[in-house]
Amino acid sequence: MTLAELLPSTGCSTEPVLEDGLWPDGTRIAGQDLVIGGVPATQLAARFGTPCQVLDERTVRTRARAFRAALPGVEVVFAGKSLPCPEVYRWMAQEGLSLDVSSAGELALARAAGFPAARIVMHGNVKTAEDLKAALEHGVSRIVVDSFDEIAQLGALATRGQEVMVRVTPGVDAHTHAKIATGVEDQKFGFSLASGAALEAILRVAEQPSLTLVGLHCHIGSQVKHVASYEEAVRRMAGLIASCGTRIEQLDLGGGFCAPYLKGDTDFDLAGFAHRVQGALNYECALHRVPLPRLLVEPGRAIVANAGVTLYRVCAVKESTRTFVAVDGGMSDNPRPALYGVKYAVRLVGRGGKAKPVTVVGRHCEAGDVLAEDVLLPGDVHAGDLLAVPATGAYHHALASNYNQVCRPPVIAVSDGVARPIVRRETEEDLLRRYV
């Protein structure tokens, strides 16, 4: 059973039908308008301008609850990097999730949200001295160490039994894009299991009197579709637990659960994951005769991706060997197509018409600033039209930049017909403040 099947039905049956699973829960078409969280997209664009990132609060909360319901007894840790925003962190705290951060900046957002330090985990392949000091000063519950240098540095900075987890590279291929595959050898994350570095890291943590080893951590990649990849990670991590000679109380399997971006994409099999992974962990621990550790998972994209929709205004249409539809945003608010070839669906809001394939491009001075290729839009698409792109809740706000000194868009939360900014639009005054 997929995550979408575990979620409550919205009971919405409107025509024309939106692509199944891509849009926030309850999104519908009224006339030719697109209604998100009870608010028409045309109203959102008129009130907040474009580009505009819209986030449906109910969808975020519902998906967070689905993880907790499917995994009772498992600590569900929201991957804060997927959508770093104090208001979103508050929603996660209210839904009973923990939070992971990977920098002093993300921790500052968590502090602004009032997120309980006892439910914050810090990790990342590089944590500067400032990151570590911020984590220690705030009293985050666990720090995931990622290098021998970091173990020594943290050991010197900590003054009490700071709880740590060791990040392990388990050598599991998650069959995802190379740039988001993090569980295989020969990349920057974690201590290699195959080389013996992971076992050595465990021993070095034990040598630090100011550190307390409480668990192991791994993350096999992003947009992972196959539960079998997590089962293999469990088998390898259980073997390490058996060989390390010390009690491992927690096992964090990371996140990376896939989300649908295009029509026909499958949602993640959350029920299957819950059954098979916990079964594999029980079996392996019994086989190796080691105590069963508490399981942690770190969903991010699976909670927020399909809660988000980005609105753009068409600025120009060019006819060449293909039709280019240029919008007022681009790779500064969505670099993911340029980074790893992610494909998106696009819908014209406000009217219909006979469709033809077009390429939607951004406003930036790069030939690679392409948002979506070969998408079907009305053949008479023109400047002033409003476009909506679903599945933009994860890593869009997080990865946004000021390329060409373009100001970053706002994030607008919608819920039950009410829209409110949770991140305001950046201004030119904001840009100028940094220049000396």
Do 243 and 291 lie in one domain? The reply is yes
Structural domain boundaries, residue 38: 3-56+306-432
> Between the CA of residue 335 and those of 261, 353, 361, what are the distances in Å?
15, 30, 12
SS3 annotation, 304-352 = HHHHEEEEEEEEEEEECCCEEEEECCCCCCCCHHHHHCCCCCCEEECCC
Question: What was the pLDDT predicted at 180?
Answer: 45
Q: Are residues 171 and 220 in the same domain?
A: yes
Give the mean pLDDT of 135-160: 97
CATH of the domain at 217: 3.20.20.10
Task: Among 277, 304, 331, identify where a domain stops.
Answer: 304
Please check the confidence at residue 39 and state whether its pLDDT lies above 70: yes
- What number of other Cβ atoms are within 10 A of residue 35's Cβ? 21
What integer is the mean pLDDT of 365-369? 94
Residues 170 and 122 in one domain: yes
Among residues 304, 326, 357, the one where a domain terminates is: 304
- Tell me the average pLDDT across 125-150: 97
Same domain, 244 and 120: yes
Indicate whether 21 and 89 sit together in one domain. Answer: no
Question: Backbone phi, then psi, for 328, in 5-degree steps?
Answer: -85, 10
Let me know whether 177 and 83 are in one domain.
Answer: yes
Q: What is the DSSP string of 59-111?
A: HHHHHHHHHHHHSTTSEEEEEGGGS--HHHHHHHHHTT-EEEE-SHHHHHHHH
Cα–Cα distance for residue pair 83/156, rounded to 1 Å: 32
Contact (CB, 8 A) for 239 and 272: no
Number of structural domains (the chain) is 2
Identify whether residues 106 and 233 lie together within a single domain: yes
C-alpha–C-alpha distance, residues 226 and 231, integer Å: 9
Catalytic member of 244, 315, 365, 407 = 365
What's the pLDDT at 5? Answer: 56
Sheet of strand 33-36, all strands in order from the earlier edge strand to the far edge:
28-30, 33-36, 39-40
| pLDDT for residue 175 is more than 90 | no
Reported as a pLDDT band with limits 50, 70 and 90, residue 172 is: confident
Catalytic site residue 218? no
pLDDT at 335 over 60: yes
Q: Domain with 398 in it: what CATH number?
A: 2.40.37.10
pLDDT digits (tens, 9 = 90+) for 309-319: 999 999 999 99
**End-to-end distance of the chain based on CA atoms, in angstroms?**
56
Alpha carbons 129 and 301: distance in angstroms, whole number: 28
In this structure, the answer to whether residues 382 and 300 fall within a common structural domain is no
Query: Does the pLDDT of residue 338 top 90, yes or no?
Result: yes
d(CA 404, CA 422): 24
Do residue 189 and residue 300 come from a single domain? Answer: yes
pLDDT in tens, 5-30: 556 544 333 235 788 899 999 999 99
- Tens of pLDDT, residue by residue over 394-432, are 999 999 999 999 999 999 999 999 999 999 999 999 999
* Single residue among 278, 304, 330 that ends a domain in this structure: 304
Same domain, 172 and 106: yes
How far, in Å, CA of 401 to CA of 362, rounded? Answer: 13
Cα separations (Å) of 418 from 38, 68, 279?
7, 27, 43
